[in-house]
């Protein structure tokens, strides 16, 4: 009985936490890409600003999710899955949603000075640009097919950019290109989820879905996956990367990338599972194994 009294007051807060979508913070791991691939991960003076910027980016992205849920609340209530979101389900009020949006945004900017980065003014600019781009996406740009997935991919590039600026590490064209391609691949697989719902229920999860069909999504995903893999292999074998990392064995990590992408495609095309990258990362043990194997092999090759 005492336990019940203790738990009940905490219960409403769970819905506010869900509104922030902490599971989506996994995507912000791209912030660490510059420090990891530049062989500087173990340098605390560079790792600290990256950690602070990661936390800041998590808050700014949560602010955008709050805005999106507030704007799309009526449409979400008609959606078979999105109707369970905190605001759409009535678990969080509209006023509460706005409060969380503002608090997250303010918190994101307040964290930046603690990074001790030499590029703090640029961090503010990049964070503001990311926020404005995504607000424009929520209001209008997500209604246009292909442009919607391109903006998502650019968002991942911005994550890498702010990580490089925070740690004052130069970002190679290889890293920018690979990030854009991988993000584009993930965005197209997510559109597969939307189109499946559209096929099964007749409900448009998003306006842009009429600009897609199953054949186009599958073929576009396969093409992008192929280009991504080829570019990754070229990256691992380029003289520039070999010279910078001091090893010729980076190409050995390609097998993990191939296995992970094939599994992702198998889940989407063969099994009809969710194309959400965060859900795949949390639920699919084979993909988890591939990611951990890739990180471990990369770490051993360039750090040991």
Same domain as 185, residue 263 = yes
Q: Residue 156 belongs to what domain range?
A: 1-171
Return d(Cα 288, Cα 291) in angstroms, integer.
Answer: 5
Return d(Cα 250, Cα 298) in angstroms, integer.
Answer: 7
Q: State the CB neighbour count (10 A cutoff) for residue 252.
A: 14
pLDDT in tens, 131-157: 999 999 999 999 999 999 999 999 999
Pair 127, 57: CB distance under 8 Å: yes
- Helix ranges, 72-119 (H): 73-77, 94-111
Same domain as 192, residue 125 = no
Instruction: Retrieve residue 152's tokens.
Output: 């998502």
- Please tell me which residue, 216 or 272, carries the higher pLDDT value: 216
Same domain as 195, residue 228 = yes
Counted domains in the chain? 2
Q: Which of 171, 200, 217 is the last residue of a domain?
A: 171
Same domain as 176, residue 166 = no
Same domain as 134, residue 42 = yes
Q: Is the pLDDT of residue 10 over 70?
A: no
Same domain as 228, residue 120 = no
Q: Which of 171, 201, 235 is the last residue of a domain?
A: 171
Same domain as 182, residue 96 = no
Same domain as 178, residue 157 = no
Q: Which of 111, 138, 171 is the last residue of a domain?
A: 171
Pair 137, 148: CB distance under 8 Å: yes
CATH of the domain at 166: 1.10.357.140
Q: State the CB neighbour count (10 A cutoff) for residue 184.
A: 23
Same domain as 118, residue 12 = yes
pTM recorded for the entire structure: 0.91
Strand (E) or helix (H) holding 137: helix 120-139
pLDDT score for 127: 97
Return d(Cα 108, Cα 295) in angstroms, integer.
Answer: 28
């Amino acid at each position: 009985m005492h336990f019940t009294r203790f738990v009940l007051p905490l219960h409403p807060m769970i819905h506010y936490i869900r509104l922030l979508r902490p599971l989506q913070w996994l995507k912000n791991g791209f912030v660490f890409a510059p420090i990891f691939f530049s062989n500087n991960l173990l340098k605390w003076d560079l790792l600290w600003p990256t950690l602070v910027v990661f936390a800041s980016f998590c808050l700014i992205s949560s602010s955008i999710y709050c805005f999106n849920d507030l704007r799309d609340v009526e449409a979400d209530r008609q959606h078979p899955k999105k109707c369970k979101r905190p605001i759409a389900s009535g678990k969080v009020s509209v006023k509460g949603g706005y409060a969380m949006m503002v608090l997250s945004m303010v918190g994101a900017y307040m964290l930046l000075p603690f990074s001790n980065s030499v590029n703090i003014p640029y961090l503010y600019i990049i964070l503001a640009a990311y926020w404005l781009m995504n607000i424009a996406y929520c209001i209008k740009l997500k209604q246009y097919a292909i442009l919607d997935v391109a903006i998502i991919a650019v968002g991942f590039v911005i994550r890498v950019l702010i990580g490089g600026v925070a740690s004052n590490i130069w970002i190679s064209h290889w890293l920018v290109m690979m990030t854009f391609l991988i993000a584009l691949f993930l965005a197209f697989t997510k559109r597969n989820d939307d189109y499946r719902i559209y096929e099964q229920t007749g409900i448009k999860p998003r306006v842009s879905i009429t600009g897609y069909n199953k054949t186009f999504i599958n073929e576009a995903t396969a093409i992008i996956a192929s280009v991504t893999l080829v570019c990754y292999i070229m990256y691992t074998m380029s003289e520039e990367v070999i010279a910078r990392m001091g090893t010729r064995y980076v190409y050995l990590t390609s097998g993990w990338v191939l296995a992970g992408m094939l599994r992702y495609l198998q889940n989407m095309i063969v099994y009809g599972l969710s194309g959400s990258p965060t859900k795949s990362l949390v639920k699919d043990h084979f993909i988890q194994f591939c990611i951990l194997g890739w990180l471990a092999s990369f770490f051993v090759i360039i750090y040991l």
